[in-house]
Structure 1
Amino acid sequence: MFALELARQFRKTRSQQRFISFISMSSTVGIALGCFVLILLLSVMNGFEKELTNRILSVIPHGELYSVDKRGIDNLDAQRYRLEQDERIARVTPYTKLTGMLQYKGELKAIELTGIIAADNQQYFEDRVSQPQWLSFQANDKGVLIGQGIAEKLGVQPGDAVQVLVPVATNDLTFKAPKTITLTVSGFLSIGGELDNLVGLMHLDMASNAAEITSKAQGMQFTFYNAYSANEIMREIGYSYPQAVYMSDWTRTQGHLYNDIQLVRAVVYIALVLVIGVACFNIVSSLVMAVREKQAAIAILKTMGATDSLIRTIFILQGIINGVVGITTGVLLALLVAPNLSAIVLFVENALGIEVLSGDIYFIDFLPSELHWGDVGITVALALTLCVLATLYPAQKAVKISPSSALH
């Protein structure tokens, strides 16, 4: 293509064009850096979202429905069967929740125990509890699985007897001695983050008896095929339920993690798009100076019959070449680094003796990364669009050059 060849010739550096060449190169580097960092950070956000789904949402219930009064859920088996027919619901599990203080050798630690049917939940906790510990829990009606953080704080070992102090509510709001439940530690539950310092599992029958639930369970926990539709589905279930119930979903308890990820994603996208936009302004500067430098050449082309469309295309292509070089470089670097980011960060941590993410604070102890081709495509399209827009003004100025005044 004739216009493309002329654009390539116009990009060649001469001694008097070094400053223009430097600005052009800086725009290319800026675009490459912006595309690289944008794709890399979006991959990190994708990784966090994936780990949130795999680690937190695979263990905690997506939704909960629990009775307003103390008797628990009426006709539990029938209601459970009815709800399991909903194609959006993966499983329905009865539960009773106890909140109290775990006591061991004079030490106390707040704990939230969830009573479950062990046989119905093994596959959902097999990655969080070792199989021997789960089998021990399942075989012992008084067994309890406590969070790893609680066990480390209290120094508890499997087989130790612990007491759970459960507060007793009274109608006249007077103080009453807490109820004491003696349990045997079967093992430890490892979910990640702050949950390891709070949660535990016990058997449903014992939890319901301790909570004085007259039916089988206090409520039902739901797992949905699409965890991100939990709020909508729980509202639908709760409003149509034949008994007075409270309803909740994971967006109320752990939703801050997801919201933080989305907020950071939005901020990162805006900031780095602006970086790419600033780099594209350098394309405007370099092309404006190139147009001024090439006035004579443009005038000669016009006297030889070059149309305005050809002149405009030459400078648009010249700017696009700079943009494509930057985009290609940035994308290739991102494709190389993003899939291996976790290993790279781990190597840096080991080499420098630092810890980027602490497992005691965050729900993971490594920097995750998952590359999505959709993010790559959007980044490329956005950067290319900005590059094209940046060439329009200089190209129009080139078209307006008059051969008579330029060759005078």
Structure 2
Amino acid sequence: MFKPLVLYIGLRYTRAKRRTRFISFITLTSVLGIALGVTALITVLSVMNGFEAELRERILGMTSHASISGPGGTLGDWRVLEPALSEDKRILGWAPYIEGQAMLSSERRASGAMLRGILPEYEPRVSDVANHMQLGKLGDLAPGQFGIILGAELAAYLGVSSGDKVTVITPQVTATPAGILPRLKRFTVIGTFQVGMFEYDRNLALIQLEDAARLLHMEGEISGLRLKLDDLFNAHRIARDLGPKLPGDYYVTDWTQAHTNFFRAIKTEKRVMFMILLLIVAVAAFNIVSTLVMVVTDKRADIAILRTQGMTPASVMGIFMVLGTVIGAVGTVIGGLGGVLLALNVSEIVHWIESQLSMKFLSADVYYISDLPSKLNWTDVFQITGMAFLLSLLATIYPAWQASRVRPAEELRYE
């Protein structure tokens, strides 16, 4: 039975005396070790959450949450779907597109690219590309003008800017008296965009929907409809519910099918990092074992006297479990507070360090995410602090059990 006396003696042993300064120093290092481990774990996981959220926002800012296509990979009269899409309040917007592979050639270089035909008035409903334009604007894409908007990296590689010409070569062929020739067309660069993802900035080119249909032999057809949903994490269920509501035979896919391996890899990396950093907390927690062993050795005479006064082995064990639990609890609380404060201010701290050192840790010339994002997840905080406290509690069991086995007669024989 737990008694106040056990708590009182356990807390009393946390206060150092002159002859136990070294034990107090070891106790302090145990507390600081747990605190630093918890702080590091919360901060690192928050930064990883921030990177994951930033990547998801950038990827899903350019790709669709869901898409609709026909049995042959194309759609005919896509406007017949608008009434059904309008009725579903979970769908915030939709936009038609035509997509195909092409070769872009300038006077300097040539490069493969993904060619996407869009309607400028519909595209802002499903993507953020309009908010990332460096030159020009989406509204400059007009049918029959054969203008093209390139990703910033693609434009830099081709060595072109606004007003320059590029030749678009498609896999489709044209039969001529001279034989079978690839289909090509000269386009005028009217703008560039940069979303911060190499996949799009280096490989994507936008043209007007009607120009894309004419170039890719898809007159009267589109590749599909891109959808923007109110809850991207519920995209799979929404896509599954939407299929039966559409008037015809259509295929509805969502972003999780296209990018599932990427985000699964991030989650796996996060779990591995959690286990690696948890080892730091475990090492610090098991420092409590050595601390309590030294305390038990120092207090063997006290334990013997308490036993002669009638204290049971269970109560003796409780005293040292209280001492170890206090060490673990204090370290966990300090680490939790430090981790939360650091995670909430890590960007500002990094900026201050960069300003003091006159250097940039994540250079915009090398990395597409030049700031250190952080997203504090309270579930992670509770899991980390709970695991740290549990490890600290487990570390107290063996030394406390050893203390309960002290035999009063042997310890007091020469007193």
TM over 0.5: yes
Q: Is the 8 A contact 1:48 1:261 kept in 2?
A: no
Q: Does 1:151 align with 2:155?
A: yes
Unaligned stretches of 5+ residues in structure 1: none
Q: Does 1:321 align with 2:326?
A: yes
> In 1, Cα distance between the equivalents of 2:69 and 2:150?
23
> In 2, Cα distance between the equivalents of 1:166 and 1:81?
34
The CA deviation at 1:245 is 6.7
Q: Is the 8 A contact 2:148 2:206 kept in 1?
A: yes
Q: Does 1:45 align with 2:67?
A: no
The CA deviation at 1:361 is 6.0
> In 2, Cα distance between the equivalents of 1:315 and 1:212?
81
Match of 1:224 in 2: 229
What TM-score do you get using the length of structure 2 for normalisation? 0.85
Q: Map Cα deviations across residues 103-159 of structure 1 (whole Å, 9 max, x no partner).
A: 222421222121112111235333212695233336985332210111222232223
> In 2, Cα distance between the equivalents of 1:349 and 1:26?
30
Unaligned stretches of 5+ residues in structure 2: none
Match of 1:74 in 2: 76
What TM-score do you get using the length of structure 1 for normalisation? 0.86
The CA deviation at 1:317 is 1.6
| 3-state DSSP of counterpart to 1:264 | helix
Match of 1:4 in 2: 7
Q: Is the 8 A contact 1:43 1:372 kept in 2?
A: yes
> In 1, Cα distance between the equivalents of 2:63 and 2:257?
12
Moved over 6 A (4+): 238-247
Q: Map Cα deviations across residues 52-105 of structure 1 (whole Å, 9 max, x no partner).
A: 2322212211233444547x3134222343245345433332210122122222
Match of 2:270 in 1: 265
| 3-state DSSP of counterpart to 2:64 | coil
Change (3 A) 1:353 1:178: farther
- Give the residue type in structure 2 aligned to 1:120: Y
Q: Is the 8 A contact 1:100 1:165 kept in 2?
A: yes
> In 1, Cα distance between the equivalents of 2:108 and 2:396?
74
Q: Does 1:93 align with 2:95?
A: yes
Q: Does 1:285 align with 2:287?
A: no
**C-alpha RMSD over aligned residues:** 3.1
The CA deviation at 1:309 is 4.6
Match of 2:118 in 1: 116
Match of 1:61 in 2: 64
Larger deviation, residues 378-387 vs 52-61? 52-61
Match of 1:392 in 2: 397
> In 2, Cα distance between the equivalents of 1:316 and 1:61?
56
Larger deviation, residues 41-50 vs 124-133? 124-133
Q: Is the 8 A contact 2:66 2:255 kept in 1?
A: yes
1:208 aligned to 197, 207, 213, which one?
213
**Identity among equivalent pairs (%):** 33
Q: Is the 8 A contact 2:143 2:211 kept in 1?
A: no
- Give the residue type in structure 2 aligned to 1:114: R
Change (3 A) 1:374 1:69: closer
Q: Map Cα deviations across residues 29-50 of structure 1 (whole Å, 9 max, x no partner).
A: 2211110110001110111122
The CA deviation at 1:322 is 1.2
> In 2, Cα distance between the equivalents of 1:232 and 1:355?
43
Q: Is the 8 A contact 2:108 2:159 kept in 1?
A: no
The CA deviation at 1:338 is 1.6
- Give the residue type in structure 2 aligned to 1:60: T
> In 2, Cα distance between the equivalents of 1:112 and 1:361?
23
> In 2, Cα distance between the equivalents of 1:348 and 1:217?
51
Change (3 A) 1:107 1:239: farther
> In 2, Cα distance between the equivalents of 1:230 and 1:310?
56
Larger deviation, residues 55-64 vs 277-286? 55-64
> In 2, Cα distance between the equivalents of 1:80 and 1:146?
29
Larger deviation, residues 82-91 vs 335-344? 82-91
Change (3 A) 1:162 1:300: same
Q: Is the 8 A contact 1:84 1:92 kept in 2?
A: no
- Give the residue type in structure 1 aligned to 2:99: K
2:165 aligned to 150, 161, 166, which one?
161
| 3-state DSSP of counterpart to 1:102 | strand
Q: How many residues end up aligned between the 2 structures?
A: 404
> In 2, Cα distance between the equivalents of 1:221 and 1:4?
64
> In 2, Cα distance between the equivalents of 1:242 and 1:139?
29
Change (3 A) 1:355 1:252: farther
Change (3 A) 1:145 1:231: same
Q: Map Cα deviations across residues 182-214 of structure 1 (whole Å, 9 max, x no partner).
A: 323221111113120011222112112222124
> In 1, Cα distance between the equivalents of 2:308 and 2:174?
99
